[in-house]
A = this chain, B = another copy of it.
């Protein structure tokens, strides 16, 4: 599959220069590019690489002199990463799942699939499932009874959906994603150590050893449109009402969203984010990798949390936070700088030296 420079530029809303009929078959970093590749040189730093590779065409930074770089054709995009989105979509050969329903797919007679839905080998689709037009259900998937998927779903191989999950349009699930399984909700016959510790802020008191009794999850999961869920990520079913993921939200690999959580629209959770039960996350929230959020709290719209932040209490909208416990980034940095100075300050104080050093030791 090849594309002309003019077709690419027009698809991206970008400007094309030179021999715009030149056709490319792939993209490459400048130094690795062959003659049929579009070299990606969206910053002046990459100019040197163009000389090392064999690209005849490149996507360049604004203001670049494509002729001086020895190219036959060039594309210039005002927001390069946005252009990358369109370009990589055009060139993605996809996962290779075939069309049609594989003869080994086991689809319950009561399931209703739009006529063009593809279902891969060894996939199992339960009773009463409904799947919208244009959906591709990869091989080795499992869709429990009563699930509804909208149009244009893409389930990669090995994705798993529990009973009665409702999913909007154009949702992508990656391998090993587990949506709508039982929430982790247990109770003891009498008050237990955790309840006592929470009530007293730290004192578990004398509690009798007890066994845990499961509270079943009847509420399933509800996912909006244009959601993407990464490999081996788990979104647990709600207890009574559904756990909800808003439209446009993207969740990376190995994340966990517990029962009864409500996640807003257009959030971005990097890998290994964990959100405990019954917590509410606003819209346009961005979490770096390994962020944790405690249960029964809320995070406001537009919050940005740096990697590995641990959110232990309510966060107001718009805040940029970091740390364990997570605080305003500014507060966190001040505390950290002070802590770096502290060993020296204490040594000075002990030595009777009141001239407290302001220079932290270098790391």
Chain A residues close to B by CB (< 8 Å): 26-29, 32, 40, 79, 81-82, 84-85, 88-89, 91-96, 104, 106, 120-122, 124, 126-127, 139-140, 142, 144-146, 156-158, 160, 162-163, 174-176, 178, 181-182, 184, 186-190, 193-194, 197, 201-204, 207, 209-218, 226, 228, 230-232, 234, 236, 239-241, 248, 250, 252-254, 256, 258, 265-266, 268, 270-272, 274, 276, 283-284, 286, 288-290, 292, 294, 301-302, 304, 306-308, 310, 312, 318, 320, 323-325, 327-331, 333-343, 345-346, 349-350, 352, 354, 356, 358, 361, 363
Contacts and interface: CB of A to CB of B under 8 A. Distances in A.
Looking at chain A's contact residues, the main secondary structure is loop
Contact of A84 (B158, B163, B187, B284): B187
Given A81-B187, A335-B342, A234 B254 contact: yes
Contacts of A265: 209
A311 to B, nearest CB: 9
A334 B38 CA distance: 52
What 5 A-B pairs are tightest by C-beta distance, nearest first? A88-B216, A202-B329, A96-B145, A184-B252, A178-B231
A262 B218 CA distance: 33
A175 B342 CA distance: 47
Count this chain's copies in the assembly: 3
9 contacts: A82-B187, A82-B189, A85-B213, A122-B140, A184-B252, A204-B320, A272-B272, A338-B342, A352-B354
A216 B106 contact: no
Contacts of A234: 230-232, 253-254, 271
A92 B174 contact: no
